[in-house]
Chains A and B, each alone.
Chain A
Amino acid sequence: MDLNAPFFADFGVWLGLLLSLALFSLLIRDNGLARLAQHILAGALMGYIALVAWHDVLRLRVILPLVRGEDAGIWLPAGLGFVLVVAGVQRILAQPDPVDGADGAQPRPTETPPPLWARVLFSLGRIPVALLVGVGVGVGMVGALEGTFLPQYWRAAQIALDSTAPAGRLIIGLMTLVLTTGVMLHLYVAPLAGTQIGFVRQTLAGWMWIGRHALWLAAGIVFARLLAARMSLLIAQAQWLAATLGVVLTENPLARWLQSLFG
């Protein structure tokens, strides 16, 4: 079967057109066609992910190296992964059935404790989970420190300590300092501000006022750019629909498709 045949290209166009229109019908109201389109898209994505997981992960990075003996160290992560999968599957299968006829389907409490082998399996399954969480947290924290906090702090210090910098840059640096500290005070110090003495309280109140409004302004800017991003998606989809409909109406790929089906 030649997947590059015009039939598949035209079929893809028609399918994409119909699914796009079905999803857009959500703007009118929720309906069965839109739900069907959502289910198709979600199912196709999950199926594709399953294929990628098998082809690009399990086969390429685990099974082939094991079979070829290319990497002896692959046995440990492969073994831990296998334990995790088995523990997860056993846990899923051991879920109690929901109470029949009950609203909200409350699970029936288990009456007997799990057998020893299941308890050992659960305990072993904690090891790869702990490794995943620990590695993730460690990598994340070190990366945030090295990649965000320290470079940004150094950049702010450079602006502040550079006496030859133009006035505009100094003003921007000073504003950055005031706004950043104001936001921090508003978020973390506000509950304690009332316990301070007079002039400190007033200063804090003014500073936090600046921080609060800076937060609103930043949120507005982020929202505006997000709106532009979503508009871009809508416009791109509309452009594709317009182009597809134009092709459909002018070149009539449906006729070509039917012709290819029936000769």
Chain B
Amino acid sequence: MPESGVPESDAPTPAAPRADHETDDEPRASTRTDAFDAQPWLDYGFEEGDFGGSFEDDPTPGGFDADSDADGWPSVTPGFDEPDAVPDDASDADERGTVDPTRGPRLVTGIQGLLDPIRISRRLEETQTPDPPSRAVGSAAGDGARLEKLRRFRNLLYEDPRLTGNRRRRPHVSTRAFLYIPWIFLLVAVLTIGPLVLGWGEAENLPPEWPGVAEAFALVDGLSPDAVVLVYWAYDPATAGELDLAARPMLQHLLARRAQVVGVSTLPAGPASARRVVGTVRQTRDAAGMFSEASRNPWPVQVAFLPGGASALPLAATDLDRALGFVADDLPARAPVLSVILAARAEDAQQWLEQVQTRTGVPTVAVVSAGADPTLRPYLDSGQLRGLVSGFDGAFHYQARLDGGDDPTATGISTATLRQHVNAQNWAHLAILAVLILGNLAAILGRAGQR
């Protein structure tokens, strides 16, 4: 095994000597192949101005500024024309007395059309070569800039090979039109807001009903009057746009069953959100213009802020009065028979299940954001959650069950809103599909153009 560590069978063969009539300024006849016709920039006589454009204008992340790189990297300068000066191994460099760190060893020779190898990292070889004396060793800025250049070269070499230091003609397929981000926003906005404003389409394609909605509805429907329900309010106005869709019918159902609802929230703005939603539900009127059963519930809904995050949640299981934090005569004297989690994040629901539900064993229903659904499905399967209502689709089906229930005064004030919402979601999904298809087309065309 030679010093370089390369097996002898794979050792580089010496470059074929030039014929006497050939000079360094003349291209070798043996190096000219048909490839040059398709890629004339590989020709040693190629002039960088032939194709116009500027490599510096290349917006690809791997592009680099040839002018700034020329200082320490002579190989990238357009005038650099010593392809055969590459040492085959370290011994050649030693004979010359200098080591050009920009050049790497040529692994295979005698094959036409090869590009000049460029050293991109000292770690690609086992032999260590010293830094060029012109470099300021130990300078943090210099080392950082050098590493950045190495990184750029490495990125360049991951892509299809192209000569460094030469102007590169990029294919004239404009990929900018496909990847213009504001157009994506515009498409999504038009297809989402258009149905709301202009009334496009109808919600004929209803979302599927996921397991957990029927169970949650049945559990709430089976509550006896004056049953105490403990609510964990874990969303604030930032995510109220989505959670209110499902929280309103759930609260409406609870109040219509004359449940005594008390709640805690680990979010400072949680109690305010709760007051707003409860106020909306209590103002609900039925088709006859009368207040609904929900509004006739005599029990006040109190949601307290519980400071301390997840660490304070066990207090809700062991000492509810202390967790609620207020001294009032109308606090429920009975233990809760049902827990309802209203959470925007799966972590909040998990924390309640881990800290409270394991201690109390009270049946728990979760009303969560669509994004939290995949994480909480296993808890529904394992029985820790008795019901799961997630996202706009869960809200739609819960409201539909409420509208079709026995309570004639349970108004579908949210039904029209939810149908509009479902319609807009369908259009939004079409927009996302269109973006996916266009994006893949752009990627395919871009790759084909680069080849």
Contacts and interface: CB of A to CB of B under 8 A. Distances in A.
A21 interface: no
Given A48-B272, A143-B354, A152-B382, A236 B425 contact: no
Interface residues of A, number: 44
Given A56-B305, A136-B310, A225-B371, A147 B383 contact: no
A37 B271 CA distance: 24
Contacts of B102: none
Contacts of B381: 155
Interface string B295-321: 000000000110101110010000000
B269 interface: yes
Interface string A202-246: 000000000000000010011001111101111111111010000
B424 interface: yes
A45 interface: yes
Contacts, number: 141
Contact of A27 (B189, B192, B373, B391): B189
A139 interface: yes
A229 B268 contact: no
A183 B407 CA distance: 49
A155 B379 CA distance: 10
A148 B354 contact: yes
Given A147-B350, A155-B381, A229 B311 contact: no
Interface string B386-417: 00001110000000000000000000000001
Contacts of A236: 241-242, 244-245, 421
Contact of B192 (A143, A147, A235): A235
Nearest to A232: B242
B99 to A, nearest CB: 34
Given A152-B382, A232-B391, A218 B374 contact: yes
A85 interface: no
A225 B391 CA distance: 8
Contacts of A136: 309-311
B391 A229 contact: yes
Interface in B1-50: none
Given A136-B311, A151-B382, 16 more contacts: A27-B182, A143-B354, A143-B355, A151-B379, A151-B383, A155-B383, A225-B374, A226-B371, A227-B432, A229-B371, A232-B245, A232-B421, A235-B196, A235-B421, A238-B192, A239-B196
Q: 3 closest pairs, A vs B, by CB?
A: A147-B354, A236-B241, A143-B354
8 contacts: A49-B268, A60-B325, A225-B372, A226-B371, A229-B242, A229-B391, A232-B241, A238-B193
Interface of B: 182, 185, 188-189, 192-193, 196-197, 239, 241-242, 244-245, 268-269, 271-272, 304-305, 307, 309-311, 314, 325-326, 350-351, 353-355, 357-358, 369-375, 378-379, 381-384, 390-392, 417, 420-421, 424-425, 428-429, 432
